[in-house]
Structure 1
Amino acid sequence: MPAKSKHMEQRKQRIANAKKNARLAGRLRRRRRLQALGGLLAIAAVLTLAYLLQSGFFADEEPAAEETPTSEVTDAPTVESTESATAESTETPTAESSETPSESETE
């Protein structure tokens, strides 16, 4: 619909330009907010990663068996001694061993 006068035409153009600028400004505000949020998340991630690295969260802990060299181990039980110890502990006492008098009783 054409404007009736030059002033009305200019007024319509100003209003259209103001609406267009308002839309563009809104888009820019939203984009800046998202960029700021992304930046804050990136900073938080870097700080968290740095803290975890300093606290040793990612350090590989070696098993306890590898901490002591085998040359320093002196009391390593052998397979035979562990088998004989388990066999002795499972035996029941015989009547002979309970009837033998002690040295103090025989004197």
Structure 2
Amino acid sequence: MPAKSKHMEQRKQRIANAKKNARLAGKLRRRRQLQALGGLLAIAAVLTLAYLWQSGFFEDEEPAAEETPTAEVTETAPLDPSASVDPNATADPTAETSEAPSESPSETTE
């Protein structure tokens, strides 16, 4: 009977090794699948970013001004106080500036 017992021991060892190898192969297969998925996601992200960059998605553009009918426009005070200051104005409001052109009917030619 020792031969039968030795045969059974080798068979048990082969089965144990086969199970161990199957577990390791499963781990390696799952790792490769996750790596492949990560690579595909990285490629998809790069292609998406390249498409968005080519289409001008990341450029800073001024928003288009909304068209407002003139009848709906109301006069408001400017928000910036320095915007209302006239750079050509003088301290004396009655003084005339030499920069202002004067038009007379005799000077215009048609």
TM-score by length of 2: 0.52
Aligned counterpart, 1:35 = 35
Which structure shows the bigger proportion of residues in helix conformation?
Answer: 1
Aligned residues: 63
Using structure 1 for the length normalisation, give the TM-score.
0.54
Q: Cα RMSD (Å) of the superposition?
A: 1.8
Over residues 52-73 of structure 1, what are the superposed CA-to-partner deviations in whole Å (9 max), with x where a residue is unaligned? 00100010014679xxxxxxxx
Structure 2 match to 1:45 = 45
Structure 1 residue ranges (4+ consecutive) displaced by more than 6 angstroms after TM superposition? none
Q: How does 1:19-30 map to 2 (within 5 A)?
A: 19-30=19-30
* Structure 1 segments unaligned to the other structure (5+ residues): 66-78, 80-107
User: 1:64–1:27: structure 2 CA closer, same or farther, 3 Å change rule?
Assistant: closer
Alpha-carbon distance between aligned partners in 1 of 2:63 and 2:17, rounded to the nearest angstrom: 72
Instruction: List alignment gaps of at least 5 residues for structure 2.
Output: 66-74, 76-110
Q: Deviations over 1:32-51 (max 9, x none)?
A: 11111110000000000000
Q: Percent identity at matched positions?
A: 92
Alpha carbons of structure 1 residues 54 and 13: separation in structure 2 relative to 1, 3 Å: same
